[in-house]
Structure 1
Amino acid sequence: MTTPHQQQGIQSVEIGMRVLAALEEGGGPMPLSKIAAGSGLLPGKTHRYLVSLLRSGFVTQEMDTGLYNLGPAARRLGVEALRRVDEVGTASRHASVLRDRTGHTVYLALWTDAGPSLVRQDHGWYPLPIVVRIGSILPIVDSSIGRAFLAHLPEPLTAPILAAQQRRKETSQLPPEHLAEVLDEVRRTGLATATGSVIAGLNVISAPVFGPDGHIEVVIGVAMPARFDDDRDVRSIRADLLTTARAISAELGCPARD
């Protein structure tokens, strides 16, 4: 029986995948020369593949700088791959119910090689200051979703990505003792909160969802316009979110947590 590596393939497709992989590993907009170096191709050949990838929507090119980046088709493909993870399917059912109960927009996010990525958004009844795109990478320190992941993932996994975001000024660089206090509070309460730190006028409360091994799998968040600041309403939403996160964790097989 032949293995996938032994079967005959289409070389041009494999080369195109190398170009896309070079773009993905670059972590942001890249010039032709760096894409060529990353894919092991000559610049002229790399350019021809980029033209085809541009036409298909897998790559975009910035008009002002000429730099290349992953396009909407690549984003949709990546998000769909993440959606098909069982954890997301299970959490999605609960997310829509939570949206219906609270009336507010509900987010789901997974941890990726670039940081926390939004994979689902159930729109609520209340308009938000801005719509966050599916596939967006969120700031680790400033977003409640990022804080939930940061509080529960191993530091060797998060530290390089956090450092990269801070170098690019995509997230804040809090004093270590302040960040430790924030993360301790997340672990103690089971919830992370961000009030207008990413988008002015938008408050988000998030909770971690754990899998059968007790490790964090997904983060679920509720987004509210800042005008919803009544203490009773916020307490009710926090309690509902925490109950939902625990229900998803239980359905995924997570052992009971204190």
Structure 2
Amino acid sequence: MQARQQGVDAAEVVGEILQGMLQTSRPVRLKDLEKQTGIASAKLHRYLVSMLRSGLVAKSADGSRYDFGLLAYRIGQLATHDPDELDLLEPFFKDFIDQLQDDDLGQAVGIGRWVGTGATMVKWFERDSPLSIRSNPGAQLGITTSATAKLLAAYLPAEVTKPLVLRELKERDCLTNANVKLVFNDYANIVSAGVANSIGARRTGLNALSTPLFDQSGKVVAAITILGMAPNFEAQLDGRAAELLMALGRQLSLKLGFSPLT
């Protein structure tokens, strides 16, 4: 086993604090940051004093909460001009779609992300086909019907997804307590299985499978989705296409630094 390289503990603690702020409603109170990071408040306070001086964090007007400072925003602005981490994985998606030679394994592979209050597809890779089956990038997907949106919603807190589920079921004229329960049971099964499917949700005969892509913190940063047309592509949760898709998800998650629990 390769020895772990020696680093600077203080830098790692700063990273934990910044990660905690990313995962908490901001501006954040010290006690909430303590709960999020597991770092004692006295230690947090000492680090925050230095982070205030460096510009990584800033205090709210009343001095009781913390938010990202000017230096953090400048770093973020610079990062937005650099390639997205998913862009660096693009060759793997292209190779994967090239491997799907049979229609029963799908005809297109897409990347979906949670943006704002919903899920959307941001990129597509498609086999040569006389029939385009892609959805338009930017179109919001139904979180009770779409494989991609269900997958992403399943890994979000219920307080985030429940209002959206209620609204969507109401729009579909099927809002009942039983249907709400079915949706969240479906989400639980998706997390357990690591894959979601949809059968003709967007268009009759168009089926989909979706699996998560995790980053180094264990957060789901995207959904990888296979689309295909029935009757060839049945989007079975225990089929060969699902097996290949989940293997791709695991492979690319590892490349993003994800370390699954053993």
TM-score (norm 2): 0.59
Aligned residues: 178
Q: Does 1:107 align with 2:92?
A: no
**Structure 2: tracts of 5 or more residues without a match:** 1-78, 102-106
- The 1:197/1:211 distance shift into structure 2, 3 A limit, reads same
Q: For 2:190 and 2:219, locate their aligned partners in 1 and report how far apart those are by CA, in whole Å.
A: 15
Structure 1 residue runs without a partner (length 5+): 1-80
DSSP-derived class of the 2:201 partner: coil
Aligned partners of 1:141 and 1:134: how far apart in 2?
Answer: 19
Q: Which residue of 2 aligns with 1:120?
A: 123
Q: How far off its partner does 1:243 sit?
A: 0.5
Measured against aligned partners, the alpha-carbon deviations of 1:63-110 in whole angstroms (never above 9, x if no partner) come to: xxxxxxxxxxxxxxxxxx999663321443322121111142001011
Taking only aligned residues, the RMSD between alpha carbons, in angstroms, comes to 3.2
Residues 95 and 106, structure 1, Cα contact 8 Å, conserved in 2: yes
SS in structure 1 of the partner of residue 137 of structure 2: coil
Q: Which amino acid aligns with 1:102?
A: L
Match of 1:179 among 175, 179, 183: 183
Q: Are residues 150 and 127 of structure 1, via their aligned partners in 2, closer, same or farther at CA, if it must alter by over 3 Å?
A: farther
* Aligned partner of residue 180 in structure 1, secondary structure: helix
Aligned to 2:246: 242
Letter in 1 for 2:119: P
Query: Would the alpha carbon gap of residues 129 and 200 (structure 1) be closer, same or farther in structure 2, given more than 3 Å must change?
Result: farther
C-alpha distance in structure 1 between counterparts of 2:80 and 2:209, whole Å: 22
Cα pair 2:198 2:235 within 8 Å, conserved: no
- Give the letter for the 1:255 counterpart: S
TM alignment of 1:154-233, pairs within 5 A: 154-169=157-172, 175-229=179-233
Query: How far off is 1:162 after superposition?
Result: 3.7
SS at match of 2:184: helix
- Contact kept? 1:128, 1:225, Cα under 8 Å: no
Q: Compare 202-211 and 133-142 and name the one that shifted more.
A: 133-142
Aligned to 1:87: 85
Which among 141, 144, 147 is matched to residue 144 of structure 2? 141
Cα distance in structure 1, aligned partners of 2:207 and 2:235:
13
SS in 1 for 2:122: strand
